Amino acid sequence: MDTTTAMDALRQLQIETPSWAYGNSGTRFKVFAQAGVPRDPYEKIADAAIVHRFTGSAPSVAIHIPWDRVDDFGHLAEFARGEGVSVGTVNSNVFQDDDYMLGSVTNPDPRIRRKATDHLLECVDIMDATGSSDLKLWFSDGTNYPGQDDIRLRQDRLYEALAEVYARLGSDQRMLLEYKLFEPAFYTMDVPDWGVSFAHCLKLGEKAVVCVDTGHHAPGTNIEFIVAFLLREGKLGAFDFNSRFYADDDLMAGAADPFQLFRIMHEVVKAGVVHAGSGVSFMLDQCHNIEPKIPGQIRSIMNVQEATAKALIVDQPSLTAAQLSGDVLGANGVLMDAYNTDVRDMVRELRAGIGLDPEPMKAYAASGYAQRISDERVGGSQAGWGA
């Protein structure tokens, strides 16, 4: 793809940021509070709008319920529009209530299963109020010990809840089913991998699609293969971008393995689903523990943009020719040539072309926004995990 065409495609890339990335987060050992952290969902959206203002590529913000619960979700959506963004994916939370110790929708207790399913249905109501089209479901459900519960029966319970929520979706709404190999359950997770998610989505129908979180796999997993397969089947609905070194580290996208991010985006580019409205949405899902929140989101977006730009300039005709002729090293060389190309000037030119500062990190630092929110957001309770 030539540079002009690649820039046109890159201009259409939209990356959703998550409300929880702007709050305080940490590890099992410590959550480090930072000055200027939002105290309510409105301030989270205001920070997300700043990220969009400096990158031009983050026009929506995902919300998490009940962390982002407000009295009037229509008003929250109106506020977001006034800030130049929109409320995007609605994320459910059935993992922080004491009732869910043995699972939520797969719990042996029918009362708890009902409670969890009702929460998922409430999230669809919130989608209606905000105009959101995507409901993201992630379940911490699983077991810690052999024999603790019936593995097959838990899948029956899971599907029963998913089917009820699926039936509640509007014609323009989707269910994104996320998965995670391990944690918090250590023997079995009820949705441990893309295959289980895919199987349930396939049975549910066309409005159910898989969400790939890049940190939720076993070490060494070929994520781009999963992406290519799901794209082929029309069941890849969304990405949660982050980076990992050992487990689900939720570091900035492209920080641990930028080559992996490039390989993933190469499959996305080949399938022609970079643009908004393609049926594949892109979101960051990160916890900024030691780095400032807003710059962490800006840098992550820049990393995804650069990986996508490299994927867009792959010489696809040469790659295809090498593949068909069995030229192993030639094919690999085509990919490596694109990956080793410095695309930063290309992305800077893109930003300048839409009236933005070519250097988002420097522009944000010079804006004074960080100091302003540090001075203004005094008192109240800072947002964080569970708030």
DSSP for 71-129, written as a single string: S-HHHHHHHHHHTT-EEEEEE---SSSGGGGG-STT-S-HHHHHHHHHHHHHHHHHHHH
| Tens-digit pLDDT profile for residues 308-363 | 999 999 999 999 999 999 999 999 999 999 999 999 999 999 999 999 999 999 99
3-state secondary structure of 201: helix
Q: Which residue, among 189, 194, 23, 16, has the nearest Cα to 88 in the 3D structure? A: 16
- Model pTM score: 0.96
Residue 279 scores a pLDDT above 90: yes
Domain coordinates of the chain in residue numbers?
13-310+357-376
Tokens 């009940």, located at residue: 66
pLDDT, average across residues 274-287: 93
Query: From start to end of the chain, where are the E strands?
Result: 15-18, 60-64, 86-91, 134-137, 142-143, 174-178, 188-189, 208-213, 236-241, 281-284
How many whole angstroms from its chain centre is CA 36? 24
- Residue labelled with tokens 């989101």: 297
| CATH T-level fold of 13-310+357-376 | TIM Barrel (3.20.20)
**pLDDT tens, residue by residue, 181-205:** 999 999 999 999 999 999 999 999 9
Closest by alpha carbon to 37, among 283, 294, 252, 249?
294
Alpha helices in 205-273 (DSSP H): 223-233, 258-270
